[in-house]
Amino acid sequence: MFNYIIKRLLQLIPVLFGVSVIVFLMIYLIPGDAAEIIGGPTATAEEVENIRVKLGLDRPMYEQYIKYISGVLRGELGYSFQTGQSVSEAIKIRYGNTFSLAVFSAIIAAIIGVGAGVIAAVKQNSWFDYLSMSVATFGISAPTFWIGLLLIVVFCVKLKWLPISGFSSQFWTKDGLTHMILPSITLGFSSAAMIARMTRSSILEIIHQDYVETARAKGLSERVVILKHALKNALIPVITVIGVNFGGLLGGAVVVESVFAINGIGRLMVQSINARDFPMVQGTVLVVATTFVIINLLTDIIYAVIDPRISYK
Amino acid sequence: MEEIAKQTGLSKVSTHKSKNQIFELLKSIKRNKRACIGLVIVAAVILIALLAPIISPCDPYKQDLNIRLAEIGTKGHILGTDEYGRDMLSRLIYGTRLSLLVGFFSVVFGLAFGVILGLLSGYYSALDTLIMRVVDVLLAFPGVLLALAIVSALGPGLVNVIIAIGIWSIPTVARVVRSTVLYIKELDYVTAAKSIGESDSYILFKEILPNCTSSVIVYATMRLATAILSASTLSFLGLGAQPPLSEWGAMAATGRNYIYQAPHLTLLPGFAIILVVYAFNSLGDGLRDALDPNLKNAI
Weakly modelled stretches of chain A, pLDDT under 70: 166-172, 307-313
**Which chain A residues have a beta carbon less than 8 Å from that of B284?**
none
Tell me, yes or no, if A214 comes closer than 8 A to chain B by beta carbon: no
Residue A30: its chain B contacts at CB < 8 A? 153-155
Amino acid identity of residue A215, one-letter, is A
Q: Which residues of B touch A16 (CB under 8 A)?
A: 140
**Chain B nearest C-alpha distance from A218 (Å):** 34
Task: Output the pLDDT for position B293.
Answer: 57
Contacts of A281 in chain B (CB under 8 A): 149, 152
> Taking CB atoms and an 8 Å limit, are B266 and A153 in contact across chains?
yes
Give dist(CA B285, CA A285) in Å, integer.
32
Residues 192-221 on B with a CB inside 8 Å of A are none
Distance CA A99, CA A264 (A): 9
Whole-model pTM above 0.80?
yes
Burial class of residue A125 in the structure, from the number of CB atoms within 10 Å of its CB (0-12 exposed, 13-18 middle, 19+ buried): exposed
Burial environment of residue B192 by CB neighbours within 10 A (0 to 12, 13 to 18, 19 or more): middle
B266 and A CB contact within 8 Å: yes
Distance in Å, alpha carbon of A149 to nearest chain B alpha carbon: 7
Largest CA distance in chain A: 84
pLDDT computed for residue A7 by the predictor: 84
Cβ–Cβ below 8 Å for A150 and B267 = yes
Q: Which pLDDT value is given to residue A170?
A: 64
Residuewise pLDDT in 10s, chain B (299 residues):
444 444 444 444 445 556 677 777 777 777 778 888 899 999 999 999 999 999 998 888 888 888 888 888 888 888 989 888 899 999 999 999 999 999 999 999 999 999 999 999 999 988 888 999 899 899 888 878 888 888 888 888 889 999 999 999 999 999 989 988 988 888 888 888 888 888 888 888 888 888 888 888 888 888 999 999 999 999 999 888 888 888 899 999 888 888 888 888 999 999 999 999 999 988 888 888 777 655 554 44
Q: Determine the pLDDT at residue B11.
A: 47
Name the residue of chain B whose CA is nearest to A146's CA.
B270
Nearest to B152 among A22, A28, A281 (CB): A281
Q: Is A216 exposed, middle or buried (0-12, 13-18, 19+ CB in 10 A)?
A: middle
CB contact under 8 A, B236 and A289: no
Q: List Cβ neighbours of A90 (8 Å cut-off, separation of 6 or more).
A: A80, A83, A268, A280, A283
CB contact under 8 A, A289 and B233: no
Question: Chain centroid to CA A258: how far?
Answer: 15
Partners of A31 in beta bridges:
none
Tell if the CB–CB gap between A258 and B237 is shorter than 8 Å. yes
How far is it, in rounded angstroms, from Cα A86 to Cα A13? 26
Domains identified in chain A and CATH numbers: 2-73 (no CATH), 91-306 (1.10.3720.10)
Q: Is B225 on the interface with A (CB under 8 A)?
A: yes
How many residue pairs from chains A and B have C-beta atoms closer than 8 A? 148
Q: What is the DSSP letter of B12?
A: -
**H helical segments located in chain B:** 2-8, 15-31, 33-50, 52-55, 88-123, 125-138, 145-154, 158-184, 188-195, 200-202, 209-236, 248-255, 264-291
Which chain B positions have a beta carbon within 8 Å of A292's beta carbon?
140-142, 145
Give the closest residue to B251 by CA, choosing from B226, B229, B232: B232
Q: Give SS3 for B87.
A: strand
Interface of A with B in 138-197 (CB under 8 A): 138, 140-146, 149-150, 152-153, 157
Interface touch A273/B141, C-beta < 8 Å? no
**Can you give the pLDDT at residue A161?**
84
All residues at 6 or more sequence positions from A17 whose CB lies less than 8 Å from its CB, including other chains: none
Tens of pLDDT, residue by residue over B66-98, are 888 888 888 888 898 988 889 999 999 999 999
Distance (Å, whole) CA A237 – CA A242 = 9
What pLDDT score does B211 carry?
84
Residues 6+ apart with CB under 8 A from B159: none
User: B28-298 — its CATH code?
Assistant: 1.10.3720.10
Residue A5 near chain B (CB below 8 Å): no
Query: Is B45 part of the contact surface with chain A (CB cutoff 8 Å)?
Result: no
Q: Which residues does residue B81 pair with via DSSP β-bridges, in sequence order?
A: B87
Q: What is the pLDDT of residue A228?
A: 80
Rounded to the nearest angstrom, the minimum Cα separation between A142 and chain B is: 5
- Angle (CA) A125-A127-A129 rounded to 5° is 55
R_g of chain A computed on alpha carbons: 24
Query: Does residue B49 sit at the A interface (CB-CB below 8 Å)?
Result: no
